[in-house]
Structure 1
Amino acid sequence: MDSSSNSSLDSTSPDSGRLISSTVLGLCCALGLPGNIAVLVVILRRTSRRPNFTLCLMLNLASSDILCLATVPVWIYTLQQGWTLGRAACKIATFLLYLSLNANVLTVTLLGVQRYLQVLYPQMWNRLGRKGEAVLLLALWGLACALTAPAVATRDVRDGELKCQRHTGSDAERVAVLVFEIVLWFVVPFSVLVTSYCRLHRRVNQTALFSSAKMTWLVTSVVVAFFILWIPVNIVKVLAIARIVLQTSPPEVSDALLRHRNALVRVARCFMVFNCCLDPFLYAFASRRIREQPKSSLRGEIRMQVTNI
């Protein structure tokens, strides 16, 4: 599942490592699927009118998590048996996995941008209207597909192999793909997310977002969880790049990088899936707070707060 290792499923790992990884992934799937389905059901059942854009994003987040977790049984099977499902299945499974992960990251990022604009620049946000919000959601999934393309294009099953893994024409191409993923899958979204919340918190003391300790805790949790759960996979990618760059160095250096990368692959894989399992618990109570607050009251509060800035 890790996109920077030679194989998305490290079938050469010791049996104990594969067993632990399979167990953790299975638990995440068993907890995360019902949790995200519950989020969908609760929001849809308790929202009598068309949900506002924040709730649409939360529905989008739950949907992307469900899509990711639905692929987990395939990865667990191949952890134990190797990739026996063929080339087409490798491409499809890779596409669904990374599409869902990219949609997850982009949704969390857009949540931060939306709250920033809605509080500090409400007139600008209101000009979007329903059609503009729908276009944003479609653009989000379109961008997620575009960001997924390099991972799908470079993954394949070679003759005689039991691995759905990355194959590139050269080391330069591999480094380019890894840098692309680090920058656009992590650095840019995380920077936008942190900037949005920090600027919002700095400019407004009592906003609709930070009017209670619970909401402040939510924002902090979102940023911290995003960083902690996504940093391992990006460290793996950096180690992969370092190993390519330093391939002319003494063998012990390359071997050390390979050992550290392989050890971190299993952790990164589990963290990525755990992220989808954690989302319902981070956002469930927030959706209740937003849903219960009248929309007109929220806008009136925002206008008053912006006037006082």
Structure 2
Amino acid sequence: MSQLNDSDRSLDSINSDHIAPSAVMGLCCLIGVFGNVAVVSVIVCNHKRGDLNFTLKLMLNLAFSDILSLLTLPVWIYNLLHGWTLGLGACKFTSYVVISSLYVSVLTVTLMSVQRYVAVLYSQYWARLRGTGKRALLVALWVLAGVLASPAIALGDVVGQEMQCKWHYRSDTEEAATLFMEILLGFVVPFSILVTSYFCLHKKVNQTTFFSSQRMTRLVTSIVVTFFIFWSPVHITNILQISAVLLKSKTLKNFVKNCVDYTQALTFLNSCVNPFLYAFATRCRKENTEQSTTSQVVSTSNL
């Protein structure tokens, strides 16, 4: 996430080098905003405010954070192609907004997995968490995302011949430490929690029921795999950049710069996939409920 528009290529190569990632970002903006707005509309129209359970509130939270990050894409596309012309303050603010919203997205998906695990296996404890406690969880999620995104304010700058908005590190140590914390807090910890929660839930449910839901298995797998596919490339790039800094390798550093725009585009693709993924989750729950009701009716008729 700290790799936003990190490029030092010459003006002559901007059009050819940045057209592909810019096109992907533009497509993400169109599809992602429409998809997430549709999710918000469906949830709000089909449920009254008092009827929203915590899972639906998390889905709304995810949609809002994705919309917020996607709405900044036109600015970043222009920055890629023409450089930054909005001033230093706008650079810092826009960087902070997009990075904090991406962190909210990651943390929301992580909290979904924890909530599902606790609500299913420890329902008595989850029931004790009243509406105030659940609202506090959502507020804490945004606060934490804001704290994690705070380096954007300190490091965001307009630099280079292209006058692009990117992170400007004052030393190699600062760069390596910032990227390491981003990898740890933005990927390793959330992904570990995500995998552990769903693995323990799936294992426990299978032990306590006579059958396992193939739809649920596919859904859980898709959530984990999607998170890994869209977020691992940018953090692999971060690892390579840390290696380039520590080894002082210009070749590796140039390779990383050529990959940054494409790995960044994948993170925004994740914001496009989220609404369809969780809409499918809602459909699966509805189908499972209908199948369960049908089974009960058949069983009763047999009696």
Q: Is TM (by shorter chain) over 0.5?
A: yes
Residue of structure 2 in register with 1:142 after alignment: 143
Q: 2:164 aligns to what SS in structure 1? A: coil
SS of the equivalent of 2:44 reads helix
Distance 1:148 1:29 in 2: 21
- In 2, the alpha carbon distance for the partners of 1:26 and 1:171 equals 33
8 Å Cα contact 2:8/2:161 also seen in 1: no
Answer yes or no: is the 8 Å Cα contact 1:61–1:103 preserved in 2. Answer: yes
Instruction: Structure 2: state its 5+ residue gaps.
Output: 293-303
Aligned to 1:47: 47
1:232 deviation in Å? 0.9
DSSP-derived class of the 1:156 partner: strand
C-alpha deviation, 1:30, in angstroms: 0.8
CA 1:22–1:11 in 2, change beyond 3 Å: closer, same or farther? farther
Cα RMSD after superposing both structures: 2.3
Say whether the 8 Å CA contact 2:6–2:257 is kept in structure 1. Answer: no
1:158 Cα deviation from its structure 2 partner: 4.5
2:38 counterpart residue number: 38
- Residue 78 of structure 1 aligns to a residue whose secondary structure is helix
Match of 1:279 in 2: 274
Q: Which amino acid aligns with 2:145?
A: A
One-letter amino acid matched to 1:3: S
Partner of 2:63: 62
Return the offset for 1:52: 0.3
Identity of aligned residues (%): 50
- 2:100–2:146 Cα contact (<8 Å) kept: yes
Partner of 1:270: 265
Q: CA deviation at 1:169?
A: 2.5
- Aligned residue for 1:191? 192
- Is 1:104 aligned to 2:105, yes or no? yes
Measured after TM superposition, the shift of residue 255 of structure 1 is 3.2
Q: Secondary structure at the match of 1:204?
A: helix
Query: What displacement does 1:161 show?
Result: 6.0
SS at match of 1:157: strand
1:72-98 deviation line (CA, Å, top 9, x unaligned)? 000011111101111011011101100
Aligned length: 286
Give the C-alpha shift of residue 292 in structure 1: 8.4
Deviation of 1:159 (Å): 8.8
Give how far 1:216 is off.
Answer: 1.9
Q: Which residue of 2 aligns with 1:3?
A: 2
Residue by residue over 1:5-62, the C-alpha shift from the partner in whole angstroms, topping out at 9 and shown as x without a partner, is 7x44666455222111111111111111100000000011111342100000000000
Asked if 1 retains the 8 angstrom alpha-carbon contact of 2:68 and 2:98, the reply is yes
User: What aligned pairs does 1:18-167 form with structure 2 within 5 A after superposition?
Assistant: 18-48=18-48, 49-158=50-159, 162-167=163-168
- The amino acid across from 2:257 in the alignment is N
Alignment of 1:138-287 (within 5 A): 138-158=139-159, 162-205=163-206, 212-247=213-248, 254-287=249-282
Q: Which amino acid aligns with 1:27?
A: L
User: What is the TM-score with the length of structure 2 in the denominator?
Assistant: 0.88
- Structure 1: unaligned runs, 5 residues or longer: 248-253, 298-309
Is the 8 Å Cα contact of residues 11 and 79 (structure 1) preserved in structure 2? Answer: no
- Report the Cα offset of residue 170 of structure 1: 1.6
Query: Quick check: 164-173 or 28-37, which moved more?
Result: 164-173
C-alpha distance in structure 1 between counterparts of 2:99 and 2:106, whole Å: 10
CA contact (8 A) 1:4 1:240 kept: no
Q: 1:212 to 1:197 in 2, by over 3 A?
A: same
How far apart are the structure 1 equivalents of 2:181 and 2:264? Answer: 19
For residues 256 and 11 of structure 1, what CA distance do their matches in structure 2 show? Answer: 14
- The AA in structure 2 aligned to 1:171 is D
Task: Give the Cα separation in 2 of the matches to 1:191 and 1:175.
Answer: 22
